[in-house]
Amino acid sequence: MDEHLQTLEHAQRTAIDLALQFGPKVIVALLILAAGYFVGRWVGKLTDSMLAKIGLDETLRLLLTRIVRIAVLGLFLIMALQNLGVQLLPLLAGLGVAGAGVALAMQGVLGNLAAGLTIIFTRPFKVGEYISIADEEGTVEEVKLFNTVLGHPDQSRIVIPNRKIVGEILHNYGEIRQLDVAVGVAYDTDIAAALAAIRDLLAANPRVLQQPEPVIRVLSLGDSSVVIAIRPWASVPDYNAASSEVTQAVLETFRARGIAIPFPQREVRLLGNA
């Protein structure tokens, strides 16, 4: 019984000695980390405000702001470890060895990270633009370090790993898209009147942009009709609605003005025996 009491008393004395020796250092280290957190937030906000004033892209601005916050917090972490008496050189060496192993195990993740940094700094596209890449297309909603998120016209979201984007052929439509509507008119139609009717209906549609100027031209001579191409521009959000409205307006306008849209037809001749 006495031996147990002596062991307990020894443990208590040791705990008290450690608390007296390291307790203040731990408290100071925690205060340093807390200060680093708040200083990092303040410096991050200041950096974000400065970068916004010079008109830097939002994605790049957020990345630089995060880097600044992490750098400030890392500096305060080093100060806290030094206050605790931790030897940093052996710690850094150990982290380097561990980092090499982690890098080998996470090649795909690091590939996405490297590709994400490439996208952010080269800026082949930005948030709000409509792009086509890797057999997918949509409006860019977010550009993250590891993936890019597209909003599809069917209201779904497409998440593409960044390494699937870098090095691929990218079609960037920007913030406007060109409609592709075609209509056939009879061969005896007054083409000038038909083109004028199309110009009028495009000018009356608020979704259709007048700049760039809509493209309206005779496209081809079909089997039973003269094909007219109607290719105005609309903003990305209005693209689908504008395409439907223009197609309907062409049909209604041509009917109202007596412009015939012929049905496909073939002439078949039966040759009898002589």
Mean predicted lDDT score pLDDT of the chain: 79
Tens of pLDDT, residue by residue over 90-123, are: 655 555 655 555 444 445 567 777 888 888 788 8
Tens of pLDDT, residue by residue over 186-241, are: 998 899 999 999 999 999 999 999 999 999 999 999 888 899 999 999 998 899 89
CA-CA distances (angstroms) from residue 138 to 129, 141, 171, 172, 201? 8, 9, 11, 10, 28
Number of neighbours of residue 154 by Cβ within 10 angstroms: 7
pLDDT at position 7: 64
Q: Whole-angstrom Cα distance, residue 17 to residue 13?
A: 6
Tens of pLDDT, residue by residue over 242-273, are: 999 999 999 999 999 888 888 776 677 777 66
* Single pTM value for the model: 0.60
Domains of the chain in start order, with CATH, are: 2-86 (1.10.287), 124-174 (2.30.30.60), 176-256 (3.30.70.100)
Q: Whole-angstrom Cα distance, residue 4 to residue 148?
A: 63
Q: By C-alpha distance, which of 214, 211, 217, 210 is closest to 194?
A: 217
Q: Whole-angstrom Cα distance, residue 201 to residue 181?
A: 13
Query: Could you tell me whether strands 147-151 and 157-161 are parallel, antiparallel, or unpaired per DSSP bridges?
Result: antiparallel
Identity of residue 196 = A
